[in-house]
Amino acid sequence: MQVAAAAIATARFPILGANDRIRIGQVGIGGRGTDHIKYYSSLDSDCQIAAVCDVNQAARERGAALVRKLKNQDAKEYDDMRAMFESKDIDAVSITTPNHWHALATIWACQAGKDVYVEKPASHNIYESRQMVAAARKYNRMVQVGSQSRSIQHKMLAMKQLRDGVIGPLYHARGLCYRRRFSIGHTPDEPAPSGLDWDRFLGPAQWKPYSKNKSAYNWHWFWDTGNGDIGNQGIHEMDICLWGLGRTGWPVSVSSNGGKFVWKDDQETPNTLQSTFDFGDAQITFDVRNLPTPPEGLVAGLKPNYTGNIFFGEEGFLVVDNAGFQVYKSTAGNVRGDATLGASAGGKEKYQQVMDEKAKETDEWATTPHMKNFLDAIRARDYKLLHADIAIGARSAAFVHLANISYRTGRTIRVAQSNGRALGDEQANALMTRDYRESYMIPAQV
């Protein structure tokens, strides 16, 4: 029976040879989807963009035109991702839809025998994360989440330094998401533009009339389709917090406060959010701010509207961002050198920079090694080779969702260590899933 089952699985999900180019179907052709086409096209010996899919006809046509321009080949156009997933001409799919589509698209693709690269955050809510992991494991699919920091060399080295004890035992990870943004104003409800299937764009979300602010990039700022900036830019820094701190369990409690200040517009999510995740003997603090923000702390080089991470240990602290990482250690007595920071109030302690690693990657290049890692895992048929397997991405997304749940309920959430549920708080638990439209349900059995 096991041999027969293996034969059926191989027939449905063919195994690629070492020299076979993996045929990619790109789902979602907005700004990030356009980036994906460029990145995959640079990995010419590993893969090819064989198809593009979008609910917007103009976006599909732009995607297909870009493939022709970059690779002088045609990519088949789809307006329904399910038809793409059923095609035998597609080996893997790359999903750059709005957040509320990530889970269902991934599950459908796994069920159809496709491997998946899905952009961050992995899911729109915690229930979806669990179902995505279940689908990946059941169908033996490679599911890589677009947390590309996991494949960036200087960030990997920084995390190794933390594990090796460069600043001693860790007690605090701090995520900084100071991303300057501006008010989106008000846009009226109106008929959807010609060529846009608005019903399919909404998919799992409840139906609402079209407006310009609910589509394009601004879907990030509506609870039905996005998760605010903590789930947009902030998920990168949240993932690094968890990666560096090395905690694999749930926090004891989560507390968030903030709001949407100054702006008077259509945005629903906060433009300022402060969250604390308490593990009892360690914590994560996380700041999101879309309004002007000065540098934080004593570290030279931090700029206004900064995104990055600071780790605190018994012997010093480590700062890591896209530019590189630095390690500062506490030193008793006088310390010479330009890299020395100011003395403490007692004059007995200074901080000496002991490491300064510069990034070798550019922002444009940083995603490419993450995609290469995805393609390598596909050939090896081993999800443990993935740098950001769905279980990793789902956990980081869960912390984002817990922060938002605390903010939306207006109270501290106490978390069950066994399953991540909110203790004695049904309103909070209700926000761990959503009301799905009938045609777009996340299946209880994947």
> In this model, does residue 8 exceed pLDDT 60?
no
Band (pLDDT 50/70/90 cuts) for residue 11 is very low
Angle between helix 367-380 and helix 31-42 axes, rounded to 10 deg = 60
Strands 307-313, 143-145: pairing is: unpaired
- The C-alpha angle 43, 44, 48, rounded to 5 degrees, equals 100
Interatomic CA distance for residues 45 and 55, integer angstroms: 30
By C-alpha distance, which of 288, 285, 347 is closest to 312? 285
Question: 110-162 pLDDT, tens per residue?
Answer: 999 999 999 999 999 999 999 999 999 999 999 999 999 999 999 999 999 99
Interatomic CA distance for residues 23 and 422, integer angstroms: 42
> In this model, does residue 218 exceed pLDDT 90?
yes
Average pLDDT over residues 284-306: 87
Interatomic CA distance for residues 216 and 266, integer angstroms: 14
Band (pLDDT 50/70/90 cuts) for residue 268 is very high
Question: 120-131 pLDDT, tens per residue?
Answer: 999 999 999 999
pLDDT of residue 5: 39
Average pLDDT taken over every residue of the chain: 92
Band (pLDDT 50/70/90 cuts) for residue 165 is very high
By C-alpha distance, which of 342, 349, 300 is closest to 321? 300
Q: How many angstroms separate the Cα of 51 from the Cα of each of 32, 265, 274, 427?
A: 16, 38, 41, 42
Structural domains present in the chain:
2-148+366-389 (3.40.50.720), 151-361+398-430 (3.30.360.10)
Band (pLDDT 50/70/90 cuts) for residue 337 is very low
Q: How far is CA 281 from the centre of its chain?
A: 27
What type of residue sits at position 145? V
State percent of the chain over pLDDT 70: 90
Q: How far is CA 99 from the centre of its chain?
A: 10
